A and B are shown apart, each in its own frame.
Chain A
């Protein structure tokens, strides 16, 4: 670390030069004298001593936040000696905005004095934010010399996709053998009444249907449907991402996936995730809070990896994509490889719901405005509607989502066959 002269020296030297030149040309001593305070300052401002060492502590209020949440950065500075002017600047990574305070501060420190400085950041967009530590600049007298250093104390903040609460979710057609919130077609212990049958040895007295018994003259019991959970696998299309940074179709799909996973996990279902892109990445279906963390971590890193290779869903092991599971595919349906994979899954008998995330708004956000763009967008919307109709005619269940509003609205309008009715067929 070394002291360097600053741009202020050039200004001082310019005026010293002018004063001496004018003084010599006009032969006036008082004009020459004008330069003396400036020359004295230039000599006094030259620093030769070493910059005072600083102890910097750099802390974040949270290491995991959701989109648009705040993180407080607290920086404590202690000097070993006297530091008349110390400048600290914490560079803001992309996708992060200053919410409160300033990321740039000046302090004057006495020996062993500690100062604390805090500012709040708002994290926009799903990403791993790396806050690398402040740049430190020591200023000499009058700002004529400065020394710089970088305090490296990298801290990472995981900014997960925003989770919206969902009341309506696609109901799984098939259930799993574990206890959950769905009424299973299978008879057994439960609270949902089912058929009535004659009493058999081993039946519990509390299941006797007294009204039917009195009418029919023999003991009859009420059977119940079991409450079971379901396996839900989210299939995220990571083949395309168009739109402005932080608001791409992939970002919107990741938000939807996070919301859907949270809602199903709250219903005690097992949720898995498959990132269908240049690389296949997956999370095995499981339940609980730890699983939500795993799904969010995978969604955080979901990105487009360019490849010409077409990967088949056959490659996915059945423990990742259980045959009885409900598959919720989130895609803008722009890549034929994903459409083909979705058709393949439906043909293999998977209970498939496709959430078609509209790419039109995202594309318009980065396209130049104008009449031609308006017409193109309208034509694209028509083409997309025709594509969705064709997929519906092929038996695929499509939920058209604009990517901005709540998913509750398209999900509420989704007509799904009831589990028991399907079993009765």
Chain B
């Protein structure tokens, strides 16, 4: 059941880039993402699903660039939430495979996923608002400076999250 749900969510994920631009090379990338990620969902392999999701994200970016689509933050937030749910579902399905799962477990997990997805949406909205405020400060700056600042911000974000995760909390 969890596997079927994961397959449906992953199919929605692959449909995102095709919704922006249904043309090669986006379709090729989306097809590759579907094959790799679909195999991952079937065999409940996290590395394959991660690779498939990465391909879908690349296809989405490519579609946005090729189509020169206007910035759609709502679609981006939905894509991010779909990515999150896909990975969480496949991970949960791989853990509970062959095990006895009580009904309250499924209810509890659904509640958790919805809460985290809602937190993600709120965070995206707050970030977008913050980004708009920062954009005003950077207006008029040279493009290499903006790119450097963005790259630095991205690197610091990833490094910060990694250090946060690897610091152990023991009781």
A residues sitting closer than 8 Å to B (CB atoms) are 1-24, 26-51, 84-85, 87, 101-102, 104-108, 115, 117, 139, 141-144
Contacts and interface: CB of A to CB of B under 8 A. Distances in A.
In the A-B complex, the 4 residue pairs with the closest CB atoms? A37-B120, A50-B171, A20-B154, A2-B170
A24 B57 contact: no
Interface residues of B, number: 67
A44 B170 CA distance: 17
A56 to B, nearest CB: 15
A36 B123 CA distance: 7
A316 B150 CA distance: 89
Interface stretch (B4-12, B25-33, B102-110): B102-110
B76 A31 contact: yes
Given A15-B57, A44-B116, A30 B71 contact: yes
A46 B57 contact: no
Contact of B120 (A7, A36, A141, A143): A36
Nearest to B55: A18
Majority secondary structure, B binding face? helix
Contact of A107 (B73, B102, B121, B168): B102
A135 B81 CA distance: 33
Contact of A14 (B54, B72, B75): B54
A355 to B, nearest CB: 43
Contacts of B43: none
Given A11-B47, A27-B147, 10 more contacts: A5-B165, A15-B83, A16-B158, A30-B75, A37-B84, A37-B117, A50-B171, A87-B95, A104-B99, A143-B95
A43 to B, nearest CB: 7
Contacts of A46: 164-165, 169
Nearest to B79: A34
A143 B93 CA distance: 11
Contacts of A35: 80, 157
Contact of A33 (B46, B49, B73, B116): B73
A47 B64 CA distance: 36
Contact of A18 (B58, B72, B75): B58
19 contacts: A4-B168, A5-B165, A8-B87, A11-B46, A24-B147, A24-B150, A27-B147, A28-B71, A29-B73, A41-B120, A42-B161, A43-B164, A44-B116, A44-B119, A84-B108, A104-B99, A106-B100, A108-B102, A142-B88
